[in-house]
Amino acid sequence: MAKELDSLKQYLVDARERKYALGGFCFWNYAYGMSIAQVAQKLNLPMLYIIGDAEVKFFGGLKNAAAAARTVAENVDVPVILHADHFKDYDEICRAIDAGFKSVMIDASAYPLEENIERTAKVVEYAHKYGVSVEGELGRIAGSEQHLSLTEAEAMQTDPDEAAYFVEKTGVDILALSIGTVHGEYRFPPNINIPRLVKISEKVSIPLVMHGGSGTPEDKVAEAVEHGITKLNLATDLVKTVGKATAKVQQQPGFGYSVANLYAPAYVDLANYAEHKMRLLAKNIL
């Protein structure tokens, strides 16, 4: 009997209460996913995978991705959550839920507030029928290529009053914020707006999420967790860790190509990276 995937909400509600966070680790292949899950198992934390459109393609579709995550679940004793990251299309989200996803993000943050609310609420209505958690996003998260002035950066960030209104109108379970992190690698020094997070946190009681965890200074991450951040998305750093490890091992004298020779160091580095981040995020309960 295959183990089912878990929903996300209850874990993040607990995380907000007890002031810790889960890393959302990008899932693009079973073997790497498994090496991170073994760390979650060791620390007795839920294994939270995030998966976007591009990674779904590597699996050959939503059903295969869900099946791969379920196979991980069969091999560990901790809950496994597969979270659809930045999905924008209602029909695609319904397909993910039909494929067994129990956690989805609807990113309608590019739309004006009322349209974002309408699109998000529609997903909530469908998802909640199946016990699926929904993350919405308010405010825009910059790409690493965008060089913004401080005023421009602030203008894109989540407004505390709008956040409270958005949560009330949509019924979302989890809220992704824009408070100065970027997607991808930072090309400019990060400026994380903790005062704004504090204000949002006072008005919004559901779990809050920070995207763009790669390269964000760890003292700021720890501070954000104290103020309501319960999930930190990590993708770029994982790819970089694997890329660097596989490049480095090939420079060693006498290196011979085999799957084990090429990839074993990457598995080890990935597990070490994941353990470091999990311990940082969950230090209040570990």
Binding site for Zn ion (CB under 5 A): 211
Q: Residue 177 corresponds to which amino acid?
A: L
Burial class (CB in 10 A: 0-12, 13-18, 19+), 73: buried
Give per-residue burial for 251-281: e unless 16+ CB within 10 Å, then b. Answer: eeeeeeeeeeeebebbbebbbebbbebbebb
CA distance 229 to 239: 23
Beta carbons of 37 and 47 less than 8 angstroms apart? yes
Catalogue the active-site residues: 85
User: Between residues 236 and 241, which has the closer beta carbon with respect to Zn ion?
Assistant: 236
The minimum distance between CB 179 and Zn ion, in angstroms, equals 13
The minimum distance between CB 51 and Zn ion, in angstroms, equals 12
What are phi and psi for residue 269, nearest 5 degrees?
-65, -40
Q: What are the distances in angstroms from CA 272 to CA 67, 130, 275, 276, 278?
A: 26, 35, 5, 6, 10
Instruction: Give the tokens for residue 219.
Output: 């003292």
With CB atoms as reference, the residue minimizing the distance to Zn ion is: 211
The minimum distance between CB 183 and Zn ion, in angstroms, equals 5
Instruction: Give the tokens for residue 65.
Output: 């991705």
The minimum distance between CB 218 and Zn ion, in angstroms, equals 19
Burial class (CB in 10 A: 0-12, 13-18, 19+), 200: buried
- What 3-state class would DSSP assign to 25? strand
- What 3-state class would DSSP assign to 269? helix
Q: Residue 199 corresponds to which amino acid?
A: K
User: Between residues 131 and 143, which has the closer beta carbon with respect to Zn ion?
Assistant: 143
User: Between residues 196 and 211, which has the closer beta carbon with respect to Zn ion?
Assistant: 211
CA distance 160 to 199: 6
The minimum distance between CB 209 and Zn ion, in angstroms, equals 9
The minimum distance between CB 53 and Zn ion, in angstroms, equals 12
